[in-house]
Amino acid sequence: MKEQMTRNTSNSSTKAPGSEEELRLILKDNIKRLRKARSMSQENLAEAAGLSIAYVGGIEIAIKSPSLQSLCSIARALQVEVHQLLRPQFASDITDDEQQVFCNELSRELQLGFKQLLEQLLKK
């Protein structure tokens, strides 16, 4: 029996594998990750894919289910194959560039959090 690998996203770990909700969560994670790795804003992606910013935003928060045509447009804009958008992301699949983007974002978030904590402590 094959052992199922756990996805790298904690928010979808309780969803039924292969369900529409699970696929939307996989899709949103992959689109956002790939978009950020290419230093694209949602606006850039929407323009490149010929979609509205609101629609791309809805996909990235898993409230919109894109059509096959929209998936193809997004994949083309991100320069990937459609199946890569629907495939669960595993830690071993993350490129060095994607790791750097993640580390930079985490660093900014930690710096902001530390600054806010320090400000609160100094107010007391």
Q: Domain residue spans in the chain?
A: 15-90, 94-124
On whether the CB atoms of residues 63 and 53 are closer than 8 A, the answer is: no
- The pLDDT of residue 101 is 74
- The pLDDT of residue 111 is 80
For residue 58, pLDDT beyond 50: yes
Q: What's the Cα-to-Cα distance from 106 to each of 44, 52, 69, 101, 116, rounded to whole Å?
A: 23, 28, 34, 9, 15
Which CATH entry fits the domain spanning 15-90: 1.10.357.10, 1.10.260.40, 3.90.550.10, 1.10.150.20?
Answer: 1.10.260.40
For the entire predicted model, the pTM comes to 0.62
The 3-state DSSP composition of the chain as helix, strand, coil percent (nearest 5) reads: 70, 0, 30
Alpha carbons within 13 A on the beta-carbon side of 14: 1
**pLDDT tens sequence across 88-101:** 875 556 677 776 77
Return the percentage of the chain with pLDDT > 70, whole number: 78
